[in-house]
Structure 1
Amino acid sequence: MATFVIAGAGLAGAKAAQALREEGFDGEIVLIGAEAERPYERPPLSKDYLNGRSERDKIYVHPPEWYADNDVDLRLGRRVTRIEPGHHLVRLSDGSRQPYDKLLLATGAVPRRLPGPGYYLRTVQDSDALKERFAAGAKVLVVGASWIGLETAAAARTAGCEVTVVEPEPTALNRALGPELGDLFARLHARKGVHLRFGTAAAEITDTGVRLSSGERLTADLVVVGIGAAPEIWLARDAGLDVGQGILTDAALRTSHPDVFAAGDVAEHFHPVYGRRVRVEHWANALHGGPAAAKSMLGQDVTYDPIPYFYTDQYELGMEFSGDVEGYDEIVYRGDPDKLEFITYWLRAGRVVAGMNVNTWDVVDDIQTLIRSGAVVDQKELPTG
């Protein structure tokens, strides 16, 4: 009987285990997670759960009995510390060894850190700690106008906290969306009373706040750091697998070793639509990448090529984003950005490379079809929602 091991009990790992059973795999499945919690989804941690609009039981991927019912050996509170591909073996932090026939690496990413005692938002325990502090009306300083940073700022401000955001870029989400759309999010937060400090970096977190790179000190009751995340590639690197910005895979999510696969935040997979490798840290990639990897482990013909997708909720703004803005040369709007009801298209050489719908729904499929087609578009015929 074959044994499939999944290192990483997040959304990608849990969905991979589910897909293996749904596809008829009757061998042993070992799902190993570093946290004590059974697999859960991370987006609510900075959205509905953090805002108190969703209960804890809503974040979990499966009910607690699902793992036993589906004969999945869920091992929590331990992590894979070493991979030995030549021996088809992993070593665990509790000193045990686990053989495998196929291995999936779904170890995700860890927050990038600053020196000093800051808060980070990656686990449900992190979200619980912030929720408690926000409820007390703390003076909050957020380092980083990233998606996590802005969602956290929105949650803190909605809870009545005084909030300041520090960001070295000239505006919010500058690298993700470009300056024009990033400024729209900055204006939204400013209208809500968030103090924005662009063009300045946090050098150090102190007991009383933050020391900026300029030497200026800002005081706060707590500092939340949202400056991105780094994929946990060290296991793969130490095992001799090919790595880059993530663990390198082909379009079937297979690494440089034929019996080792990678999915989710940690994977840098070849994307046929873009003709290059991409690494996507968002929820949809874990949701779909785990099952795709599972099918590939079973020997099915897999081409993993979804258009990158993510979403955010901040105050009254709900948004979905598809694509990749890299190399865009034109932005086209449909609707009214001032009323926060519109679609934005990023174009390169007349072709749609990304789209963002704000408070405008049921258009994601149309936007992704345009991106996937690679066709030169008539801007007058772009969907308006």
Structure 2
Amino acid sequence: MGDLTLAPTRYLLPTIVFSQFAGTSLWFAGNAVLPELQASLQLQDGALAMLTSAVQLGFIAGTLVFAFLSLADRVSARLLFMLCALLGAVANALVAFAAKDLYAVLLFRALTGFLLAGIYPVGMKIAASWYSTGLGKAIGYLVGALVLGTAFPHLIRALGATLPWQHVMFAVSVLAAVGGVLLYLLVPDGPYLKKGVTFKMGNMLLAFRDLGFRSAAFGYFGHMWELYTLWAFTPLVLALALPQLTPGEVSAYSFAVIAAGAVGCIGGGYLSQVWGSARVAFVQLLLSGLCCLLSLIVFQVNAPQLLIPFLLFWGVVVAGDSPQFSALTAQTAPPQLVGTALTVVVAIGFAITVVSIQLTGFLLSQFELHHTLALLAIGPALGLLALRRLV
């Protein structure tokens, strides 16, 4: 698990991983209670795309603002993580009180996304401050925690299917707040904590001049076209493909499909020690792209014994390449511009998810499910073309 010889206790990494899991559970909390929100707001088709895109846009804005202000370098990263987790928990809980006003709900979801920019990337920086080696595997665990956190609201919904949906939102908020406080109390600043350079938009041009960096970045962009769209629409996909499922079963299977990505992240982290990050990312992106195309066949069969294993496998490979793309962009970026380069790549990647989610939401109203899902293969195909230079 890397060099942790300077860590004060054995619970250091588990605390970071748990806190990352708890904080990122805020991401899809709104998706887990979508039917109730739709009924409360009297929304028709497109509600899922709107709610998810609000979070994504908030995250993009938060990432850029935090980078411009160099907040993680000017204040304690641990303090920033805790404050964002606590404020994110409040913003998430307020959705329960604003459920009659669409604009208020979208505002609170966007604010939650903005504050997630102080949780997901900052959590990785905190972990990196404790590692001199083995960061690739550590990122695998941290992204695995993000995947589980993203899926967790669906599990809460499945376990409490008869409870008011507001209780799901409150439970997620409590979890995020606890995670933020625990990280601040139990994880001190690491010995490898480094200051980053001030974010400047002009610097991104310097990073993209490097062929290796462009290959890693465009591979990541193709991956992001597919990833969050599949995650966002998993409950709807299950409900449409298997109409015999109860709402509780849809939530349970949604959790399983999204959470399966943690297996791909952690397993890919270990494989990268043997194959290298580029090869692991290439293989997983190839497999997820094939899943997009196979959906043309699989989703025309109303058979849970085929559809559920297929979606679980897709869940593994669609997220499993995420840590390796993070490692590749960090490795290929100019050393003095790693922070700036990663910020720009993440911002562009999440902007791509907004386009993909909105387009998919529109196409689902025009075409059949299997035709729409097959179009997600465009992202992996372009990503593989870019990534092949690094394999």
Taking structure 1 as the reference length, the TM-score comes to 0.28
Relative to total residues, which structure has the larger helix share, 1 or 2?
Answer: 2
Give the number of the structure with larger relative contact order, counting CA–CA contacts within 8 Å between residues 6 or more apart.
Answer: 2
Relative to total residues, which structure has the larger strand share, 1 or 2?
Answer: 1
